[in-house]
């Protein structure tokens, strides 16, 4: 299959069937801890990167397969695909498994994006910084992305979304670990159902170090 991968065993989600809506390494961030390498297409442009009907056809083809979640993730930021909401709606009609979106939270300031992501049953957004300086150091965002907008988008999404929201925080030694208390305060303000605190485990795109304790 071209757009689906797996199912793979996930620490968070059990047996997960992945959906990749973007060409390799198309993202609006270039996180220094990313396990799949440097971003080669850094963009904030939402568009139809891959044909929706072909993705939906592949999703329908696994309707009889056994997995715990259908997960929109892959090699870039899934909210960059302008048809995300329609694809999620079609997936939920075809499958019995719940739908997950893993996102870097960058576009949740847009009401259109929030409405599309809210079609999912479970959303795993991320927040790795409390200040713009640290945001730029760890996530290396496309020009124009601001941490203040991301935090406000997360708060608004939490108010609007009726499903489960598990917020992920990645701590990297010497890069953002000094902001852990400020990030914790923001997490409390956002109010997710769960918080998943991570450090570097898989080989990252840059020589960054995990926390040891």
Count how many domains the chain has.
1
Length of the chain in terms of residues written: 213
Q: Evaluate whether 205 touches 35 at the Cβ level (below 8 Å).
A: yes
| Inside any domain, residue 142 | yes
Task: Spell out the SS3 assignment of 51-68.
Answer: CHHHHHHHHHHCCCCCCC
Residues of the chain with pLDDT under 50: 203-206, 211
144: region left, alpha or beta (phi > 0 left; psi from -120 to 50 alpha): left
CA distance 157 to 109: 8
Do residues 86 and 121 touch, judged by C-beta distance below 8 A?
A: no
Could you tell me if residue 211 is inside a domain?
no
- pLDDT value of position 208: 54
- This prediction's pTM: 0.91
Q: Which helix (H) or strand (E) holds 186?
A: helix 180-190
Which tens digits make up the pLDDT trace of 66-103? 899 999 998 899 999 999 999 999 999 999 889 999 99
With respect to residue 209, please indicate whether it lies within any of the assigned structural domains. Answer: no
Structural domain boundaries enclosing 131: 4-199
Average pLDDT score, the chain: 92
In angstroms, the CA 54 to CA 16 distance is 20
CA distances from 183 to 26, 96, 127, 201, 205 (A): 27, 36, 8, 20, 23
CATH of the domain at 132: 3.20.20.70
Distance, CA of 134 to CA of 121 (rounded, Å): 31
Q: What is the pLDDT of residue 10?
A: 86
In a domain, 194, yes or no: yes
Distance, CA of 78 to CA of 191 (rounded, Å):
23
Instruction: Give the pLDDT score at 205.
Output: 47
Token representation of residue 66: 């056994």
Q: Does the residue 78 lie in any domain?
A: yes
Dihedrals phi, psi of 10, to nearest 5 degrees? -110, 140
């Amino acid at each position: 299959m071209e757009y689906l991968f797996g199912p793979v065993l996930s620490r968070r989600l059990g047996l997960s069937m992945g959906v990749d809506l973007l060409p390799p390494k198309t993202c609006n961030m270039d996180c220094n801890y990313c396990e799949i390498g440097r971003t080669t297409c850094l963009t904030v442009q939402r568009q139809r990167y891959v044909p929706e009907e072909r993705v939906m056809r592949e999703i329908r083809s696994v309707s009889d397969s056994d997995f715990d979640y259908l997960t929109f993730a892959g090699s870039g930021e899934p909210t960059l695909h302008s048809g995300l909401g329609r694809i999620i709606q079609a997936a939920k009609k075809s499958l019995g498994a719940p739908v997950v979106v893993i996102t870097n939270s960058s576009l949740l300031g847009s009401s259109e994006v929030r409405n599309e992501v809210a079609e999912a049953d479970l959303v795993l957004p991320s927040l790795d910084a409390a200040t713009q300086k640290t945001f730029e150091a760890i996530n290396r965002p496309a020009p124009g992305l601001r941490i203040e907008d991301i935090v406000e988008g997360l708060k608004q999404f939490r108010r609007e979304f009726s499903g489960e929201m598990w917020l992920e925080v990645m701590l990297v030694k010497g890069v953002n670990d000094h902001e852990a208390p400020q990030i914790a305060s923001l997490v409390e303000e956002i109010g997710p159902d769960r918080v998943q605190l991570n450090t570097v485990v898989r080989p990252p795109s840059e020589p960054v170090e995990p926390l040891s304790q």
